[in-house]
Chain A
């Protein structure tokens, strides 16, 4: 499943299931920034690994909880363990939101 590295090129007409909207990615970034209290200078990209940003296991769980609240989804424990970057989080969110709306 190819990951889209250029979310800015996506419009809602091209709903490819494996890529997350820019809006989603940005929201994830916001939640991660808040959870980890990142100073504004800290670079945060879709590929940023939570652990490199200083997140411990508790932070990661809380990030997932924050995403659940924000997007109204429920993340299975097995899935949440596969979320290690912003992109992975955004992709999973999209998948779960689409499933919910289906």
Chain B
């Protein structure tokens, strides 16, 4: 059943973004929790969007950018973990010879059947609703901003790649991780290009803006903060790509489902690696690490593409995340679940020998998931009420 699409669409070929078809109240309400948890969408101004910004300028981070907050003596910890990392972290990389490549999931240009394969892809893509594509495009743009993420990893004290070809385990990990991730953007890009369902030029422009904007996840050059952030993010992308895979399958596009699922499985491996690093940090320095965990959660885990901009829409990322929330691809509930998972994974409740501040941090992170859930339930309840208003006059989508 086609959604009556009637407002501006960021990426869709002369189509409109479906979330605007919702009555304004429901739209705001459904944003309430993601607005809280997705820091980028906090109106209290994590983005310079309001009056005073010149037109056609991408948003910028407005928080004060803090650097080198980890005490320099802790850099030693990471130097001393080099061998441990080689044995325990690098093992989560897949040898290139064993890796999938984008071509494995795309029509083969060197084959006779190429055009037919492309047509099949396009026919299948026609069956997929616009709002699913909005989310897929948002994911693709996020993946294509990879230079920002490699940069971010190389801002971290003690683990950065000092030369670009450093042979520390950390540097080897970062380059290989980047190389694995690079395939994600390539694959999604080629798929979307071939599908014919999206405005490629607009997307390409958006990617250019996004890479130009960069991102400060507030990790302050601290690998404690940095690896906690990446642990959360990898699990978030695993959840998100897993959901796009599931939705594609439900729509009968098994190839697309496989594509998304393959990306998701990479993310799961990466999650395993990053959570292991943080687990080791909890072992070595429980107090410092729990303080870092609470700090990141207070600052909120900002999404990598929160500065997304296409040259015209000031609320592009908000719109994208609202659709992701609505489709169940990535929701406030997922945020709470990921947090709860990490609290369990790192055994926060069992930490002992913490300072007063450390205990407060422990209490904070342990108590946070239910608070977020409560917030989210309330927002869902409100959105539901709004949908039940007879004058709403819209239909639910596919």
Contact = CB atoms under 8 A, between A and B. Distances in A.
Interface of A: 56-58, 61-62, 65, 77, 81
Q: Which of A56, A57, A62 has the most chain B CB atoms inside 10 A of its CB?
A: A57
Given A56-B298, A57-B44, A77-B29, A62 B371 contact: yes
A65 B36 contact: no
A58 B371 CA distance: 8
6 contacts: A61-B375, A62-B374, A65-B375, A77-B28, A77-B32, A81-B44
Contacts of B374: 62, 65
Contacts of A61: 36, 375
Contacts of A81: 43-44
B42 interface: yes
A65 B376 CA distance: 12
Contact of B42 (A57, A62, A65, A77): A57
Interface of B: 28-29, 32, 36, 42-44, 298, 371-372, 374-375, 378
Contacts, number: 21
Contacts of A62: 371, 374-375
A57 B375 CA distance: 12
B28 A57 contact: no
A78 B32 CA distance: 11
B32 A58 contact: no
A77 B42 CA distance: 12
A74 to B, nearest CB: 8
B291 to A, nearest CB: 16
A58 B28 contact: no
A4 to B, nearest CB: 28
Instruction: Give 3 closest A-B pairs by Cβ, nearest first.
Output: A77-B28, A77-B32, A61-B375
Contacts of A77: 28-29, 32
Contacts of A65: 374-375, 378
Given A56-B298, A61-B36, A62-B375, 16 more contacts: A57-B36, A57-B42, A57-B44, A58-B36, A58-B371, A58-B372, A58-B375, A61-B375, A62-B371, A65-B374, A65-B378, A77-B28, A77-B29, A77-B32, A81-B43, A81-B44
A57 to B, nearest CB: 6
B259 to A, nearest CB: 37
Contacts of B29: 77
Contacts of B36: 57-58, 61
Nearest to B33: A61
Contacts of A57: 36, 42, 44
Nearest to B25: A76
A56 B28 CA distance: 21
A65 B36 CA distance: 14
Contacts of A56: 298
A56 B43 CA distance: 14
Nearest to A62: B371
Nearest to A59: B371
Nearest to B29: A77
A61 B37 CA distance: 12
A81 B42 CA distance: 11
A81 B43 CA distance: 9
A81 B45 CA distance: 12
A22 B43 CA distance: 31
A62 B372 CA distance: 10
A72 B42 CA distance: 26
B373 to A, nearest CB: 12
A65 B379 CA distance: 11
A81 B28 CA distance: 13
A63 to B, nearest CB: 12
A58 B29 CA distance: 16
A65 B375 CA distance: 9
